[in-house]
Copies of this chain bind each other. A is one copy, B any other.
Amino acid sequence: MKRRIGIVGGGQLGRMIGLEAKRLGFRVSVIDPTPHSPASQVVDKQIVAKYEDEKAIRELAGDSDFLTFEIELANAKLLRELEGGGVSINPSPETLIMIKDKLKQSEFLKNLGIPVADFVSVNSKKDIENAALEFNYPILLKSRFDGYDGRGNALIKSEKDIDKGIDKLRDRKLYVEKFVPFVKELAVITARDIDGNITCYPVVETIQKNNICTEVYAPALIDERAAKKANSLAIKTMQHLKGAGAFGIEMFLTKTGEVMINEIAPRVHNSGHFTQDACFVSQFEQHVRAITGMPLGETDMLAKRAVMINILGDRNGKANLRGLGKALAVKKTAVHIYGKQETRIDRKMGHINSIGDTHDEALRRARKAASFIRI
């Protein structure tokens, strides 16, 4: 059996993919610039190098039967070249190239007839002003590439914010998006296997603070019609993306009950961490199954409700986990720690999954456990 998996990226996502892959008998190597990365602590090998490093990626490919990535920063063009050389890479590098360019991603979705925020490419202040005329304020000035946790966005509420936005995102290729006054943010973790079969986990609701996901409610507290829309948009998107693997699809729910796609992540996703403790097959196992040519697992929840809370750093310095015992005294609550040596304000250091018979029960448990944990 082919059993070597290579992952570009050794953060928490790589770590959790790695844990599932190890359980299934795979040998796992990762590339990550940080020595002793989260993934390296549980897998067989880390190549210490930047995500884009050509030599490192070639070495990883030579040592892998299946290549995947946990981060959009992966060197997509090199991956495409290597794919031509016969290494099995999933999701498809072509899909990664398209998704890495958020403008292209929006065009792809729009061409499928999938609702997305109105958008337009911009190259100058004049273009931005024109976009504002067309869409009305507020608008979002967005970086086409390498946006992450909101760091590639600037909200322009009126003409006087334009210069500030241009300054924040200087030296980047930009586009403008009409601001969507959503009432909720939703996400669907979906996966496609090598034969094109598609599965979706239940639609979840994500809560963000300062553009960072803090809580996830599974399933989302929305009506069935909206959930069905979200599910069918995810499936439609997946039918047109190339390659296999788990994808996180972020969506907006508007006041009028419309569901729009905000962004596609071509990888396992923070909004799917609840699957580790609320489903029989986690998103991480699902990804391993998909990229290695195995059939997908079932995506129903074993628990009625689940809540995930991210454990975020609240200072800068050496990580020092405290309160774990108190957190684990909370019923039906699991704690996942990523093994990062350094904590930073708002850095994702771990997460908590609680299940319950009602949303309130699961939420109460998760928040209680979170209140004890410091890192």
Q: A residues touching B (Cβ–Cβ < 8 Å)?
A: 1, 3, 19, 22-25, 41-44, 277, 280-281, 289, 292-295, 297-298, 302-303, 320-322, 324-325, 328-329, 331-332, 334-337, 339, 350, 355
Contacts and interface: CB of A to CB of B under 8 A. Distances in A.
A321 B1 CA distance: 6
Contact of A332 (B3, B298, B321): B298
Given A25-B339, A289-B325, 15 more contacts: A1-B320, A1-B322, A19-B19, A22-B42, A42-B42, A277-B280, A280-B332, A281-B334, A294-B325, A294-B328, A295-B328, A295-B329, A298-B331, A302-B302, A302-B303
B294 A324 contact: yes
Nearest to A288: B328
Nearest to A302: B302
Contacts of A23: 19, 335-337
Contact of A25 (B3, B19, B321): B321
Nearest to A281: B334
Contacts of A19: 19, 22-23, 42
Contact of A339 (B22, B277, B303, B334): B22
A304 to B, nearest CB: 11
Nearest to A277: B280
19 contacts: A1-B320, A1-B322, A1-B324, A19-B22, A19-B23, A19-B42, A25-B324, A25-B337, A25-B350, A42-B42, A277-B280, A280-B332, A280-B334, A281-B334, A289-B325, A289-B328, A292-B325, A293-B325, A294-B328
Q: Would you list the 7 A-B pairs with minimal beta carbon distance, nearest first?
A: A25-B337, A294-B325, A295-B329, A1-B321, A25-B321, A302-B302, A294-B328
Given A24-B335, A337-B24, A297 B44 contact: no
Contacts of A355: 280
Contact of A321 (B3, B293, B303, B329): B3
A24 B294 contact: no
Contacts of A336: 23-24
Contacts of A280: 277, 332, 334, 355
A28 B322 CA distance: 18
Contact of A41 (B1, B22, B325, B332): B22
A41 B18 CA distance: 11
Contacts of A321: 1, 3, 25
Contacts of A293: 325
Nearest to A340: B25
A56 to B, nearest CB: 22
A251 to B, nearest CB: 29
Nearest to A329: B295
A281 B324 CA distance: 15
Contact of A328 (B297, B303, B329): B297
A277 B281 CA distance: 9
A44 to B, nearest CB: 6
Contacts of A329: 294-295
Contacts of A22: 19, 41-42, 339
A374 to B, nearest CB: 10
Contacts of A334: 280-281
A295 B326 CA distance: 8
